[in-house]
Amino acid sequence: MTTRPPGPFNGRHMTAILVAFFAVVIAVNVLMARFAISTFGGVVVENSYVASQHFNRWLDEAQSEKALGWNAALARGAGDRVAVTLAGLPAGAVPAVSAVARHPLGRLPDQALVFAPLGGGRFVSTTPLPAGRWRLRLDVRADGHVWRHEGDVL
């Protein structure tokens, strides 16, 4: 059995190595860019400078809302309507409840929801919410206070 001795390393070998290296780098970059584009569907804030000007006020509002001690439980009820149960509100308070439902990936348009009271701190949306996962931004107004809450509805 005779084996041929290996030939010298030449320009063709170097060219093949460089082309293979850059092909792998470009393929990985394209793959990662595609994953990044397909998983992030929206804008966090429209204008980051304007948002920065309101940031301290938002922190103060969040602190005063937390001090109220209110709480909300969100669920999908019959007929795909959203059910909200509020707890911790002062006795006799008549809250006005509204919300905006946002699709987490931004693929479906936002849905404005208005809630009708059922009594005992329970509310149900007047319109159904399309199937899927939604991020609900709840707005509760009672006794001169505003309380906001975010939660997921599946």
Per-residue pLDDT for the chain (154 aa), expressed as one digit of tens each?
678 888 899 999 999 999 999 999 999 999 999 988 887 666 677 788 988 999 999 899 989 989 989 999 999 988 999 999 999 988 888 899 999 999 877 778 999 999 999 988 899 999 999 888 899 999 999 988 899 999 999 8
Structure-token pair, residue 125:
């949306």
How many C-beta neighbours within 10 Å does residue 108 have?
14
CATH superfamily of 70-153: Immunoglobulins (2.60.40.10)
How far apart are alpha carbons 147 and 18 in whole angstroms?
60
132 close to 85: Cβ distance less than 8 angstroms: no
Nearest CA to 61 out of 130, 145, 127 is that of 145
Domain boundaries, the chain: 10-39, 70-153
Say if CB 142 and CB 95 are below 8 A apart. Answer: yes
User: For 5-152, where are the alpha helices, taking DSSP H only?
Assistant: 11-39, 48-68
pLDDT attached to residue 7: 84
Q: What is the pLDDT of residue 48?
A: 86
Q: What is the pLDDT of residue 10?
A: 93
Amino acid found at 78: A
